[in-house]
Amino acid sequence: MIGKVKAHTNIALVKYWGKKDSGLIIPYTDSLSLTLDEFYTTTAVEFSDDLEHDEFKIDGNPVNEKNFVKLTNFMSHIRDLSGVTQYASVSSKNHVPISAGLASSASAFAALAAAGAKAAGLDLTRQELSRVARRGSGSATRSIFGGLVEWHRGYDDVSSFAEPIQEKLDFGLEMIAILLDTNIKKVSSRSGMQSVVATSPYYASWIDVVQNDMGLMKEAIKNKDINRIGKIAELNAMRMHALNMSAEPSFTYFNSETLKTIELIHDLRNQGINCYYTLDAGPNVKVIYDRKNRDRILKALQIEFKRDQLVVAHPGPGIEYIDC
């Protein structure tokens, strides 16, 4: 009864930012993301008669009490699905900064869902696994799959799931993650969303924005139009972050380096270098571009940033099972 899985993070090109049902983690809107190869989590799960409670270690360290409660509730969902009654020993290794706006929870819960299901003897499809992963983190539902992925918001546990649009990309979409600050953010994604939904006077408009952007984004993907993909993703991200500033109390994930980096991307475009940016719930900027422009963009960015701050990420795979 052992399962070990590697799952990659994803970055939303069209974001959801708000839950209609926080228990089941059902969002108000659909969303669309790109899974990345450079950031991932590897998780091993083993159920055992010898344990008196679940045990969780991340990078060799026991989790804090808050995360323990969240994780053991997640494992209880897997026990309910499988009929397994034993507690689990869970060991995860992250190759992505935690709670820094780089989607660490997406890879973490996608890996945990798949490893936990395998260890519990569940034979689930990837669509079913996406539903399980969603119960831990909304974005995790998309990290079950590789490449470009759509999360259907649905209206209940069965209808809210992700599916791939194109897992193996046949065009040159890439990202560079600019690591400006990898410390844990002050406002979690979960609390940020709750605040925006409860207090922003513009939230109803956001739902319409996302519906429109989803249609435009899927058309751009169909046409393999990377510049159009970048433009839509950039505008969608900035409108999401505008919601945060319209909440009460207002908040932002940006810092001074974020704003400087955004301005730098604008300057590169003005110089004729086609690139765009997106940001999740954190200060770190992701640059969207066609791989044929990678060298020019890297050369320009290295004037302002250290090379180890620039992570070139290609479209990544879905979950991968590892032999124990």
Distances (CA, A) of 239 to 16, 81, 234, 278: 11, 38, 9, 11
Residue with tokens 């270098």: 273
How many whole angstroms separate alpha carbon 301 and alpha carbon 297? 6
> 186: buried, middle or exposed (CB in 10 Å: 19+, 13-18, 0-12)?
exposed
Which among 145, 142, 35, 55 is positioned nearest to 96, based on CA atoms?
Answer: 35
The predicted pLDDT at position 13 comes to 98
Q: Is the dihedral of CA 316, 233, 223, 204 positive or negative?
A: positive
Q: What span, in angstroms and rounded, lies between the C-alpha atoms of 149 and 163?
A: 6
The verdict on whether omega for the bond into residue 249 sits within 30 degrees of 0, i.e. cis, is yes
Burial string for 68-105 (b: 16+ CB within 10 Å, else e) reads eeebbebbeebbebbebebbbbbbbebebbbbbbbbbb
What are the pLDDT tens digits along the chain (324 aa)?
Answer: 799 999 999 999 999 999 999 999 999 999 999 999 999 999 999 999 999 999 999 999 999 999 999 999 999 999 999 999 999 999 999 998 766 556 689 999 999 999 999 999 999 999 999 999 999 999 999 999 999 999 999 999 999 999 999 999 999 999 999 999 988 888 999 999 999 999 999 999 999 999 999 999 999 999 999 999 999 999 999 999 999 999 999 999 999 999 999 999 999 999 999 999 999 999 999 999 999 999 999 999 999 999 999 999 999 999 999 997
Give the pair of three-digit tokens for residue 228.
């159009």
The pLDDT value recorded for residue 101 is 58
Which pLDDT score is estimated for 104?
87
Cα torsion through 58, 36, 3, 71, rounded to 10: 40
- Which secondary structure element, helix H or strand E, spans residue 212, and what is its range? helix 203-222
- Contact criterion met (CB below 8 Å) for 281 and 174: no
CB 148 within 8 A of CB 165: yes
C-alpha gyration radius of the chain: 19
Q: What single DSSP character describes residue 304?
A: T
Domains and CATH numbers, the chain: 2-170 (3.30.230.10), 173-313 (3.30.70.890)
**Rounded to two decimals, what is the model's pTM?**
0.96
Locate 156 and state its tokens: 């209940």
**Closest Cα to residue 37, out of 238, 220, 175, 206?**
175
Burial of 293 (0-12, 13-18, 19+ CB in 10 A): middle
Tokens 């839509």, residue? Answer: 232
